[in-house]
């Protein structure tokens, strides 16, 4: 049994611990051994707290032995993305000037996960300040996809996704400002949820309240139930984040199997952009599962408003506002493309912001029209399979050049602008043996419906029995 612990989903491990069939200390020791065995190849983890985690687990052993009440995540090893604080560990943001930035306290999300019994095992790699859709930085190097070590696990939550798909940890935190949970979930075949904006409280970053309302926190996991279990303990209002939402009054895990019958579902296959043929093939099969369940699926061919430039302009100003003093003092220590891209925000004017928000309005009106007619919207998560581990992103698909780099992410970032909940489930595999994803989107605050649809799909086309061998 011990040799297969790392392949079990989080909810099964949690149940074994509650039934006293598995000691938290045994699971943590197994996880540390798994990290030591896989990290030289994956580079998923960039900091560990092995001894402290074992000590926590042994204390939990004693509490469980004395039949004390423990939380729903009791004993589960947790990876924390290196853009988020976990007390006593460095929060480097994947950036050399912050290599010694030790967190004094946990983020709100990490504190809630720990209060539910999760044990932080270490920090997972991310591109510098989450800047790219692949995971590489000057401080820790390149993270690799467990399905093919020459390919990227995506970004910016690439270290977390590699750790999940590589069966290293059962749960890991992610964040998503333009696809940074769904992109790595897609490229590694795991489940990733971008909740509604405000569902999980955001903390200030580097002492600055964030005004950009596109980035959210959320889970990466091997099953939908695991993600629902995570969201149940992490969600709810917190005074540190004025935009955080009240608790919805339900357990997402408890309602997973209550997907309504005969839903009206829209499927847009391309948003007017190029999609890799093999990805289209697998996504169409995945969409077919919803027809087989008895839902009405309508293929949309209507034009979707372009929002790539708007998304970049809206986010760029916040990055420069937050980092300009550090760039002034330590510019040579930042990655060249990150530094130049961030400084380019100084050329964005209020007129540009106005244009960006008009594009945002146009997209929101389109989505509003979709959800007036349909209950769910399905799209590919990404138009390609995973590209080279060190980048750059693809500039062509099936021999056809892309209009711009944003076309490689065309299905994810629009829903950061609109704030709708969206998840990536495994659609299938390309001819190269690499996962590709189906994106499930619902109306704002209907995180329950996204999870229910993802869970029903997972039951119809299970994926948790197939993970890469390392």
359-418 tens-digit pLDDT: 999 999 999 999 999 999 999 999 999 999 999 999 999 999 998 989 999 999 999 999
Residues in the chain: 470
Average pLDDT in the chain: 97
Of 212 and 43, the structure prediction assigns the larger pLDDT to 43
| pLDDT over 70 at 58, yes or no | yes
Name the percent of the chain lying above pLDDT 90: 97
| Average of per-residue pLDDT across 332-347 | 96
| pLDDT over 90 at 2, yes or no | no
Among the CATH numbers 3.40.50.20, 3.90.1300.10, 3.40.50.960, 3.40.50.10070, which is that of 7-460?
3.90.1300.10
- The Cα–Cα gap between 136 and 390 comes to 6
CA nearest to 218, candidates 178, 251, 157, 173: 173
Q: In what order do the strands lie in the sheet with 45-48?
A: 45-48, 119-124, 77-81, 171-176, 216-221, 191-194, 422-429, 435-442, 376-380, 264-267, 296-299
Q: How many Cα atoms sit within 13 Å of 182 on the Cβ side?
A: 33
| Dihedral of the alpha carbons of 426, 429, 433, 434, in degrees to the nearest 10 | -50
| pLDDT over 60 at 48, yes or no | yes
Provide the pairing of β-strand 264-267 with 45-48.
unpaired
CB count in 10 Å sphere of residue 320: 16
CA nearest to 111, candidates 241, 243, 6, 304: 241
CA nearest to 161, candidates 143, 184, 144: 184
CA nearest to 235, candidates 246, 224, 225, 226: 246
| pLDDT over 60 at 1, yes or no | no
| pLDDT over 70 at 426, yes or no | yes
Residues with a catalytic annotation lie at 81, 156, 180
| pTM given for the model | 0.98
Can the peptide bond before residue 196 be classed as cis, meaning omega within 30 degrees of 0? Answer: no
- 40 pLDDT tier (thresholds 50, 70, 90): very high
CA nearest to 176, candidates 152, 151, 153, 158: 158
CB 279 within 8 Å of CB 382: yes
Name the percent of the chain lying above pLDDT 70: 99
Q: Where are the domains of the chain?
A: 7-460
CA nearest to 454, candidates 368, 371, 376: 376
188-234 tens-digit pLDDT: 999 999 999 999 999 999 999 988 899 999 999 999 999 999 999 99
Radius of gyration of the chain (CA): 21
- 75 pLDDT tier (thresholds 50, 70, 90): very high
| Average of per-residue pLDDT across 151-169 | 98
pLDDT of residue 91: 98
pLDDT of residue 470: 87
pLDDT of residue 3: 63
The structure tokens listed for 423 are 């998840």
């Amino acid at each position: 049994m011990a040799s297969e612990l790392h392949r079990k989903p989080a909810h099964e491990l949690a149940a074994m611990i509650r039934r006293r069939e598995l000691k938290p200390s045994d699971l943590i020791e197994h996880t540390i051994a798994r990290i030591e065995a896989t990290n030289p190849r994956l580079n998923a983890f960039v900091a560990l707290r092995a001894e402290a985690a074992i000590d926590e687990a042994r204390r939990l052993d004693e509490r469980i032995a004395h039949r004390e009440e423990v939380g729903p995540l009791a004993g589960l090893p947790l990876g924390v993305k290196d853009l988020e604080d976990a007390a006593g560990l460095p929060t480097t943001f994947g950036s050399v000037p912050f290599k010694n930035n030790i967190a004094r306290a946990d983020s709100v999300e990490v504190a809630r996960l720990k209060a539910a019994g999760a044990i932080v095992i270490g920090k997972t790699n991310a591109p510098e300040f989450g800047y790219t859709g692949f995971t590489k930085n000057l401080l820790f190097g390149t993270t690799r996809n467990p399905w093919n070590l020459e390919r990227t696990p995506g970004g910016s939550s690439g270290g977390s996704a590699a750790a999940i798909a590589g069966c290293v940890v059962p749960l890991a935190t992610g964040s998503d400002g333009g696809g940074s949970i769904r992109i790595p979930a897609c490229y590694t075949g795991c489940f990733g949820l971008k909740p509604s904006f405000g569902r999980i409280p955001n903390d200030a970053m580097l002492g600055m309240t964030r005004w950009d309302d596109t980035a959210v926190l959320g889970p990466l996991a091997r099953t939908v139930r695991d993600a629902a279990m995570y969201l149940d303990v992490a969600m709810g209002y917190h005074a540190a984040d004025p935009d955080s939402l009240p608790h919805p009054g339900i357990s997402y895990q408890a309602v997973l199997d209550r997907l309504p019958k005969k839903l009206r579902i829209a499927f847009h296959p391309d948003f007017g952009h190029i999609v890799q043929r093999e990805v289209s093939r697998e996504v169409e099969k995945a969409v077919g599962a919803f027809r087989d369940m008895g839902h009405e699926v309508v293929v949309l061919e209507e034009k979707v408003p372009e929002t790539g430039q708007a998304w970049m302009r809206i986010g760029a100003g916040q990055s420069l506002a937050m980092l300009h003093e550090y760039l002034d003092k330590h510019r040579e220590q930042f990655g060249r493309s990150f530094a130049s891209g961030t400084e380019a925000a100084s050329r964005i004017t209020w007129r540009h912001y106005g244009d960006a928000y008009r594009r945002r309005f146009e997209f929101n009106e389109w989505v509003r029209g979709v959800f007036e007619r349909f209950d769910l919207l399905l799209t590919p998560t990404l138009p390609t399979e995973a590209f080279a581990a060190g980048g750059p992103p693809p500039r062509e698909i099936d021999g056809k050049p892309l209009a711009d780099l944003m076309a490689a992410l065309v299905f994810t970032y629009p829903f950061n602008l609109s704030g709708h909940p969206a998840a990536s489930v495994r659609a299938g595999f390309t001819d190269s043996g690499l996962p590709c994803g189906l994106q499930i989107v619902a109306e704002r605050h209907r995180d329950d419906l996204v999870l229910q649809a993802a869970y029903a799909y997972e039951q119809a086309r299970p994926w948790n029995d197939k993970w890469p061998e390392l």
